[in-house]
Amino acid sequence: MTDIASASSGGSADPDLHTSDAARRRLKARYASEFRFKMYGIAAVLTAGFFLVLLLSTIVGQALPAFVSHQVTIPVDLSQETLDPDNQGESVLRRANYDAVVRDGIRSLYPFAESRDDRRTVSGLISSGSAVRVRDAVLADPNGTIGQTSFTVPLDDTADLYFKDQVSDERRVVPTGTATPTGTQGTIQVLSTANDFRGLLADVKDFLAQDAEGVERELAGKERSLERAILDLASYQTRLPDVAESRRNFFEDQINILERGIVSLNRDIENLTAELADLQARSQTAGAEEALSTALPSVLVEINGGVVKASRISATGIEGEVIIPLQSTAAAVGEAWSIREIVLPERNRKLDDRSIVYLDLLAEQDRVERTFNTVFFTSGASREAELAGIWGAVVGSFFTMIVTLSLAFPLGVAAAIYLEEFAPKNRFTQIIEVNINNLAAVPSIVFGLLGLAVFLNVFGMPRSAPIVGGMVLALMTLPTIIIASRAALRAVPPSIREGALGVGASKLQTVLHHVLPLAMPGILTGTIIGMAQALGETAPLLMIGMVAFIVDVPSTPLDPSTVMPVQIFMWADFPEVLFRQKTSAAILVLLAFLITMNALAVILRKRFERRW
């Protein structure tokens, strides 16, 4: 240090100062640290990129199935006689029994489904909104629709999922033997000459073994609880004689509870032990006949044009109930029959075996078609997953954004211009400035509370309406726009202001003719960032009732509606798989809007920058 100082002050620099080994080491260390810094940066970027890709691929993967849907064409009786025998026009058409039309239509495809349960299963295959669809079509175009003999309706959401292969894994066994059914209806047996069911039986036994393990774990848990209860009981009982009079009651209650608990635990243990023994016995006796239940994989046998659902299975045959009647009791060879295993137990899925068989029949008849899911993009909310769409929320968001933009942009820019160009710099304006900055950090739900208290309760504005949502979001966006606009105005070089003032422009002319146009790209960027923030905002809108379930697509900003993020929030709550997929799809739609807005911002900025 002193050397350097003296060398430099003395004027005669040490010639080795920058070439010595020490200097080289310093240089090397410097490069090394620069390299490390660069690597940290690259690592950070890669990590962020990885998570982004992960997020997007998850969402896209979830969302893709929601963009297609399955529809079924059913025969319908839309004759003039059924709907409007006296030709009275719309009033009668409106009240016609379309439920019956649709129900009869789908049932006509399953003449063998005679029992109440079976018929209910059949009606459940198509969406419950089908009748409304038919009615709307008839009312929209009576001449074109009346007399039609077939109509395409959406499938129920679980049926839709089945055609997207999202209900259960399936396995097909190609049989080698010759099978003989003992009947065509009711409970029959199908016996094969070969051990065609052995594999399935083994699967079932594996399943039982797994169940047995589960039961064993449960049993162990119960036994531990029992031990603990017995210890507790003993401790209470030993302390009971010494305990003070005032606490005696409590102790006696505890002892009672524990005694009752021990009794019930013992009963559970007994049951579980028996179940475990049963399961173990069944799983270990390989090859023995096994009864199937809804807790086990399903086995379906397709034979002679019919389908049998197995209730008992052995290595060589099954006993079961006919779901679709067989055409004959003739022996079936080779490809004339097949065995199908639906791996997920019936009780663990939404779609029972009967529905699956019925749906397969529809597919065999070429009645099912896979189409782009226009419903998702054109309809409003619905309780039925297959009928739910994002359009209502999109329109609601659009109205909300229009209101927000038309309030926040002029107010925000005007406020920014006043504060930046005209306001005197005194304590009062300083307080305003600080508060605007603070406002930007206020949790958005607080703005929702404000909207609820002021706009709804004091001004009595309509609940759930985009106009109120837009006003609340405008309050939330204002500080963002003001801050961005002020920064943009401040960034305009003072020489421009001086130039304008120098030729005698007034202050307002200077701002409007010269400063504002130059600041516009920055202001627009800030505004679009604020709008994007508002577009994705959920919490404040919950407070003013935009979380309501609204089926109709709003036609004005005064109609009740919801917005995209709130719709996503609501759908995410539903248990149905299709709703989960639609949640992801809606997120994609929202992202698409955000990306479009940002692209718009970039384009606008480019335009402005080129012009100046």
Partner 1 sequence: MSTTQTVQDTSAAPAAPVAPPNGDVLPGGTTITDAPPKSVKMKGVDVNVFYGDKQALFDINLDVGERQVTSLIGPSGCGKSTFLRCLNRMNDTIDIARMDGTITIGDQDIYDPSIDVVELRARVGMVFQKPNPFPKSIFENVAYGPRIHGLADNKNDLEEIVVTSLQKAGLFEEVKDRLEAPGTGLSGGQQQRLCIARAIATSPEVLLMDEPCSALDPIATAKVEELIDELRENYTIVIVTHSMQQAARVSQRTAFFHLGVLVEVGATDQIFTNPRDSRTRDYITGRFG
Return residues touching partner 1 (CB under 8 A): 424-425, 493, 495-506, 509, 513-514, 518, 612
Tell the smallest beta-carbon distance from residue 381 to partner 1 (Å): 50
Tell the smallest beta-carbon distance from residue 425 to partner 1 (Å): 6
Strand partners, 74: 151
Q: Where does residue 564 rank: exposed (0-12), middle (13-18), buried (19+ CB within 10 A)?
A: buried
Q: Which residues contact 262 (CB under 8 A, 6 or more apart)?
A: 226, 229, 230, 233
Residue placing its CB nearer to partner 1 in the complex, 199 or 517 = 517
Tell the smallest beta-carbon distance from residue 422 to partner 1 (Å): 11
Pairing between β-strand 187-192 and β-strand 178-181 as defined by DSSP bridges: antiparallel
Burial 542-563 (b: 16+ CB within 10 A, else e): bbbbbbeebeebbeebebbbbb
Token output for 408: 């926040």
Residue placing its CB nearer to partner 1 in the complex, 490 or 514 = 514
Residue placing its CB nearer to partner 1 in the complex, 470 or 521 = 521
Residue placing its CB nearer to partner 1 in the complex, 144 or 499 = 499
Tell the smallest beta-carbon distance from residue 504 to partner 1 (Å): 4
Q: Which H or E element spans position 39?
A: helix 21-63
CA-based max dimension of the chain: 118
Strand partners, 307: 302, 324
Residue placing its CB nearer to partner 1 in the complex, 334 or 493 = 493
Tell the smallest beta-carbon distance from residue 430 to partner 1 (Å): 13
**Backbone φ, ψ for residue 343 (5° rounding):** -70, -45
From CA 252, how far away is CA 256, in angstroms rounded?
6
Tell the smallest beta-carbon distance from residue 516 to partner 1 (Å): 12
From CA 321, how far away is CA 336, in angstroms rounded?
19
Tell the smallest beta-carbon distance from residue 612 to partner 1 (Å): 4
Tell the smallest beta-carbon distance from residue 525 to partner 1 (Å): 18
Rg, Å, the chain Cα set: 37
From CA 92, how far away is CA 85, in angstroms rounded?
9
Residue placing its CB nearer to partner 1 in the complex, 201 or 489 = 489
Tell the smallest beta-carbon distance from residue 608 to partner 1 (Å): 11
Q: Which residue has the tokens 């985009």?
A: 466
Pairing between β-strand 290-291 and β-strand 187-192 as defined by DSSP bridges: unpaired
Residue placing its CB nearer to partner 1 in the complex, 244 or 503 = 503
304 three-state secondary structure: coil
Residue placing its CB nearer to partner 1 in the complex, 359 or 515 = 515
Q: Which H or E element spans position 231?
A: helix 198-239
Q: In what side-by-side order are the strands of the sheet with 368-372?
A: 150-154, 68-75, 368-372
**Backbone φ, ψ for residue 300 (5° rounding):** -115, 135
Residue placing its CB nearer to partner 1 in the complex, 15 or 504 = 504
Tell the smallest beta-carbon distance from residue 424 to partner 1 (Å): 7
Tell the smallest beta-carbon distance from residue 549 to partner 1 (Å): 53
Q: Where does residue 240 rank: exposed (0-12), middle (13-18), buried (19+ CB within 10 A)?
A: middle
Beta strand spans in 364-403 (E): 368-372
Tell the smallest beta-carbon distance from residue 557 to partner 1 (Å): 38
Residue placing its CB nearer to partner 1 in the complex, 83 or 524 = 524
From CA 357, how far away is CA 320, in angstroms rounded?
14
Angle, alpha carbons 72-75-81 (nearest 5°) = 140
Query: What separation in angstroms does the CA of 105 have from each of 26, 160, 326, 363, 364?
Result: 87, 19, 23, 16, 17
From CA 295, how far away is CA 284, in angstroms rounded?
18
337 three-state secondary structure: strand
Tell the smallest beta-carbon distance from residue 496 to partner 1 (Å): 6
Residue placing its CB nearer to partner 1 in the complex, 173 or 496 = 496
Tell the smallest beta-carbon distance from residue 518 to partner 1 (Å): 7
Residue placing its CB nearer to partner 1 in the complex, 172 or 513 = 513
Residue placing its CB nearer to partner 1 in the complex, 309 or 486 = 486
- In the chain, what are the helix, strand and coil shares in percent, each to the nearest 5? 65, 10, 25
From CA 601, how far away is CA 521, in angstroms rounded?
8
Tell the smallest beta-carbon distance from residue 423 to partner 1 (Å): 10
Q: Where does residue 85 rank: exposed (0-12), middle (13-18), buried (19+ CB within 10 A)?
A: exposed
Residue placing its CB nearer to partner 1 in the complex, 116 or 611 = 611
Cβ–Cβ under 8 Å, residues 373 and 67: yes
Residue placing its CB nearer to partner 1 in the complex, 500 or 588 = 500
Cβ–Cβ under 8 Å, residues 78 and 148: yes
